[in-house]
Amino acid sequence: MYAVIMAGGSGTRFWPASRTHLPKQFLRITGEQTLFEETLARIRPLVPDSNIYVVVNARHAAMTRQLLGTCAAEVLIEPQGCNTAACIGLAALHIRQRDAHAPILVLPSDHFVGDTARFTHLLTAAARIAGAEEAIVTLGVPPTRPETGYGYIEVGNEQGEAQDVSYFQVERFVEKPDRDTALHYLASGRYLWNSGIFVFTAQTILSEIAHHMPRLYAGLREIEPAIGSARYAAVLESVYQKLEAVSIDYGVMEKTRLPIYVLRADFGWSDVGSWQALYELRQEAQDADGNLLLGKAVAVDARQNLVYSTTKRLVALLGVEELTIVDTPDALLVSARHRSQEVRQIPELLRRSGYSQLC
């Protein structure tokens, strides 16, 4: 079994904690470890270290290697971020040289999983299904709200069981819906959130890329003979400059004629997509007044605030409610908590205002 941890993402929704040089997967927001380390720790019992491939942006390669510590995973460095299709194609290319028919677990590096044992059980089942036939297996999260920020999976008939886990035919992948559609999806009970977790063999996914994304496949074919050679980095750089940034969902999943199966990911999943999501996720760490104080803080008559600090400064709250306060050495955010989705506007504004070094 192989694993691909996709750690090439960049985002600004956790500004000012997250920056260009420090995206979300490298933040310690859900616990003592970074989301990347937590992802790695979940996957290591399933996959031998040497079969784990971590795909990162060049600017985060050194940090990734440091976080890997003694884990002998392979680090694949992308010269620039190019969305998930290229990331997965590149990793599958490397893995195909070792084993074209072994199942590969493909995982985002910046999600939260509550129940690791259940996660392990489901991925083992998914790998068994994906290894047994030329199929794509994905995990879908039972929706709990009419979320408009996720893609959805329409679920069809049950296809069978693997290790006591039922799996279902995927009717279709659908992109982020509008509010009314999301309400309909939620009410129907026939839709799951697309978790971004996939299992397939290298042979399967590369065939599909060849079929549905011929330009990407041509690029991968250019890279293939350079693997292990001194010119690898230069070829990669040259190829990546020509690639379009397309997601695997759009590039392959929405178009494939292969069977796709989905398992219900009932292991306490969150994509931790905003400060608000983090606040909701970590109820266990909230104080009696609903304050989530991640850092040195005192609160006087303050309720339901989120404080996240990467400094040693004391944060004192007095008489405030439902704020997100993020304290870093060079920038401080004070935001209405329910407006977390708009946080990304701040680095955009700063870039236009000559404060690029804070983005």
Contact residues: a copy of itself, CB under 8 A: 16, 298, 300-301, 312-320, 323, 325, 327-336, 339, 342-343, 345-346, 349-350, 353, 355, 358
260 or 323: CB nearest a copy of itself: 323
125 or 346: CB nearest a copy of itself: 346
- Within 10 Å of residue 96's Cβ, how many Cβ atoms? 19
39 or 276: CB nearest a copy of itself: 276
Query: Please, what is the angle between helix 83-96 and helix 214-223, to 10°?
Result: 40
CA distances to 40, 115, 130, 286 from 106, rounded to whole Å, are: 12, 18, 12, 32
Q: How far apart are CA 212 and CA 193, in angstroms?
A: 23
131 or 347: CB nearest a copy of itself: 347
Nearest approach in angstroms of CB 137 to a copy of itself is: 40
Query: Please, what is the angle between helix 214-223 and helix 232-242, to 10°?
Result: 170
Q: Which two tokens stand for residue 116?
A: 């690791």
Residue 342 contacts residue 324 (beta carbons within 8 Å): no
Nearest approach in angstroms of CB 217 to a copy of itself is: 43
163 or 357: CB nearest a copy of itself: 357
Q: Which two tokens stand for residue 174?
A: 């659908």
Residue 260 contacts residue 137 (beta carbons within 8 Å): yes
Nearest approach in angstroms of CB 340 to a copy of itself is: 9
Nearest approach in angstroms of CB 315 to a copy of itself is: 5
Residue 180 contacts residue 173 (beta carbons within 8 Å): no
50 or 345: CB nearest a copy of itself: 345
CA distances to 86, 175, 196 from 157, rounded to whole Å, are: 31, 21, 21
Nearest approach in angstroms of CB 356 to a copy of itself is: 12
Nearest approach in angstroms of CB 61 to a copy of itself is: 28
